[in-house]
Amino acid sequence: MNWTPGTPTLETRGSRSVALGQKGMVATSQPLASVAGLDVLRQGGNAVDAAITAAAVLTVVEPTMTGVGGDLFALLHAGGDGRTHGLNASGRTPAAASLEALRARGHEQMPDTGLFPITVPGAVDGWARLLAEHGTISLADALGPAIGCARDGFPVSEVVARQWQDAAGLLAADPAAADTFLPDGRPPAPGERFSNPRLAASLSAIAAEGPTVFYAGALADAIGQDIERRGGWLTAGDLAMHESDSVDPIRTSFRDTELVELPPNTQGFVALEALNILADEPLEAFGHNSTDYLHLVLEALAIAFDDRAAHLADADAMPAGTLARLISKEYATGRRDQFRTDRALGQSVPDPTPNDRQAGDTVYLAAADDQGNLVSLIQSLYAGFGSGIVAGETGIVLHNRGAMFSTDPEHPNVLAPSKRPLHTLAPALAYRDGRPWLAYGVMGGDMQPQGHLQVLLNLVCFGMNIQEAGEAPRARYDPSGISLEEGIDEGVLRELVSRGHQVGPDLGFGGFQGVLVDQHSGVLMGGSDPRKDGVALGW
């Protein structure tokens, strides 16, 4: 099949065909969540309704990665007003959190798990905000399928079962977590049915009373009292102070495409900066995943991640003008002049924030409808089963997003009271010729902006379809060194090493979901990464 560069084809070169639909499309990392979202679309709901329904189901069927006790970010192109909306539903530190309080408890660095990395969870408020402002169904209706899965049980999928096994030691260390997630004293096996009746009760309370019960009602009291009893910082008062924020998305252009990300405290600008650095390169001429191509991609990412390490924090803690400078074309030109095509810049300074534990990461989903709504949504517990702490009898595992804070008092991301941490969660949208074209994301900590960059280049420069673009082998930059996924020629790694790149550990290559709108026919095209358990479904 012949194709014009920049025009994705329907030629089947991935492991499965592109999912197609005319009225709606949902792509998630779990079939049960995709089916739940598609059912909402078929019953007359819009893409926002479908996205929140699917997101809630994911908190039940993929508990290794996401939960009611985590955070959420979303980008939405709304068909009703034709605008791009951004939502930051990430929580802040407890008011009692500080460097002094951390050191008084014997920690010189932020611990990865336990009581002290717990920040206020924002996902529940994010669900309610999105539905109230852009949805057509109630929060109670959206939570119905998730409640059913938690109450009646579901068969555990293969990838999730492996991640559950990896986290068995963490869960066993907390009696409430072990009682909830280690039935019979062990993680469930693939295909084994698991239920969480306590979580079902908590979700039912949220359905009946709305987000108030989680932030200022019985659930807030249960969570706060349990953490205070254990000596942690989070209180019911901290939950009551939570507020999600509508934010203006950030963006850059690349040929006829515009990539849209969210501003700090999350890392979306890394993808924009790297894309700007590559803007004038003849990428197609190098060949996909060739040495020359990956050298440039990895060098651009190294520079962008160095800037992330230096600057990314709660937006209120970053100096005015920093973000605008980092995503400007002029800044990218100056940065591009710093590296060569035949030699790596050299190993960068270590990032002051930890990498995701490999036991888990994140869930991402995309949804679209025939009313012009295009949703890009991501939510997470940060690491596998988050903090490893389940709050009392709620069945809710709390995230460990505070592990991303620095303990350097001079860094903008330093631990402080009522502050959002540096966040890895990054959903993406792309526009083509000014029209909504693509909702996509690549899960997996620091892999997220790297995946955004590579998937977009797969589509725009190499003409891949949405499925192939998401599953094509990827490269990963880390301050400790680079890694290449299986499927990239072994000689490429040797050549990159000869140019000065260091080989780092295999930290994983994430998992993709995406929905693309064909600009000519309006047909919806979905892709779902075989690295995960999920599926894209359309009608």
Quick one: CA torsion of 311, 313, 314, 320, rounded to 10 degrees? 0
Q: For residue 234, report the phi and psi dihedrals to the nearest 5 degrees.
A: -65, 130
Spatial separation of the C-alpha atoms in residues 42 and 367, rounded to whole Å = 13
Which runs of consecutive H residues, i.e. helices, occur in 267-321?
268-277, 283-286, 291-311
3-state secondary structure of 384: coil
The closest of 208, 441, 29 to 37, measured between CA atoms, is 29
Q: Which of 479, 431, 446, 439 is CA-nearest to residue 24?
A: 439
Residue among 458, 396, 459, 399 nearest 432 (CA): 459
Q: What DSSP line would sit under 237-275, residue for residue? A: HHHHT---EEE--EEEEETTEEEEEPPTTBSHHHHHHHH
Q: Is 362 a catalytic residue?
A: yes
Burial of 285 (0-12, 13-18, 19+ CB in 10 A): exposed
DSSP letter for 325, please: H
Given the residues 362, 394, 407, 424, the one annotated as active site: 362
Please, are residues 399 and 387 in contact by the beta-carbon 8 Å criterion? yes
**Contact (Cβ atoms closer than 8 angstroms) between residue 75 and residue 249:** yes
Find the helix packing angle between 197-209 and 218-230, rounded to 10°.
130
Q: Report which of 139, 534, 154 is spatially closest to residue 366, judged by C-alpha positions.
A: 534
Q: At CA 459, angle to CA 455 and CA 461, rounded to 5?
A: 105
Residues serving a catalytic function are 362
